[in-house]
Every structure is written in C-alpha cells, then in structure tokens.
Amino acid sequence: MRILSTKQLEGSLIAKTSGNGVAVTCIDVIRTTPLDFDLSILSPGRFDTIVFTSANAVKLFFKNEHSKDVIAPLRVYAISGKTNNELRQHGIRIGAIAKGSEELADMIIADKKAKSVLHICGDLRMDTLSAKLKEANVTYTPLVIYHTEMLYPNISDEYEAILFFSPSGIDSYRKNNKLEFKTLYSCIGNTTGAYLSSLIAGAEIIVVDSPEPETMINAIVQHRK
C-alpha cells in the first residue's frame, strides 16, 4: 500500500510505519516562512482570549522570549494534536481544546467571558473561526506570523492514500494533481476534512480523534484491512 504524506515526516516515523506492505512517501506541497511580528498588539486589556490553530504558529510565536509573559493573563484555546502538545511543551495552560476551527469557535462563544479574541496564524487560513465569532459579536483579530507558499508539485506516481494537513495544502496539491474518488484520504482535523469533502463529496475521508501523522497512517492501514 502506497501512502503519500503532503509534508515531510520524521525519519523514525516513516521507518516505524513502513513495511509489511506499506510504503510512505513524503512530498511537500507548501512551505512556510516566518514573519516579523510586534507583541505590542497584546497591550494589557485589549484581548481576553488567544487562539492557536497550528503547531507552526505556536513554535514561531514562542521564539519571542516575552511571548509567554504577555499571554499569561489570557484564556488560551487550541486545536488538539501537535498544536496542543506544542503549547504544553511551553508550559501553557490551555482553557479548551477542539478538533477543528468550527468546534473551537463554538467553545469560545459558549464562554460568555470571551469578548475579544487574538488568533495567532499564517496568512492563508479558512474564515470559519472569524465568521462564527463575528456573528456572535465576539471581536476577532488575526496576528499573522508566517507566510505560506504554495509549491504546486506535479506528482506522477499513484498512491492509494494521501495525508492532508491543511486546506492550503489541499489547494496546492490539486493545482497540478487530481483528487481521485478511488483514493483514501486522511485529514489532520475537522476543518481540513470538511474542506476536502466540499471538493470531492462522497470520497472516503478519515479524520482521526488524535490528529497526529502516525495516527493518520495507522487509521488508513486499519481501514484498508
């Protein structure tokens, strides 16, 4: 069984999951570049809630030595999986964890104390979070800290299954490659899964409870068995 990951995975994971008729190939479909950002936007009292929806955003945000101090008074919301794990590695106490942006927005809205939200993100993002929050009269402000470049690879080999990690990754892939109905897909979270479903309705799409590459690969293998 040939599985394509649309981003590079750790060599140890590839070695662990490959074999017994399974082969994992990694091809990047996007590239991210850090951007300078100003922490002065987090002036005291301006925001009551901060949101992280990607592990990359967490890593880049906490490269600033003062980041932990300025978000200390805020409630922190995050997507489960690597984003959540990365925050915990920085010792951040998380108020709520969701599988996708829509569920995250619902949690924030349910928290009647959330009036002004800062979203740490890249320049390419779905409007699910912002739309739901604005509809509920919750102020939404993005802080863009990285740029996403579409690589648009032309992939000639065929794969029985493909791993997608973001809506932008899906868009980059489908520029020069067709989304085949016969292919089994695994998506990192509900937002990515819902976006893929909107493009190829009725296809087999697995969204795992624990959004980690290893869990995604294992789910594909078990599904095929």
Q: What proportion of the chain, given as a percentage, has pLDDT over 90?
A: 72
Dump pLDDT digits (tens) for 35-84. 999 999 999 999 999 999 999 999 999 999 999 999 999 999 998 888 89
The whole-chain average pLDDT of the chain stands at 92
Confidence category of residue 204, pLDDT binned at 50, 70, 90: very high
Query: Of the candidates 19, 26, 17, which has an alpha carbon nearest to the alpha carbon of residue 216?
Result: 17
Confidence category of residue 190, pLDDT binned at 50, 70, 90: confident
Q: Which amino acid is present at 183?
A: T
Average pLDDT estimate for 145-157: 96
* Beta-carbon-side half-sphere exposure of residue 143 (alpha carbons within 13 Å): 21
Q: Which pLDDT value is given to residue 112? A: 86
Tell me: pLDDT of 150 over 90: yes
Domains in the chain with CATH codes: 2-29+151-224 (3.40.50.10090), 32-148 (3.40.50.10090)
Tell me: pLDDT of 103 over 80: yes
Q: What is the pTM of this model?
A: 0.87
Tell me: pLDDT of 224 over 90: no
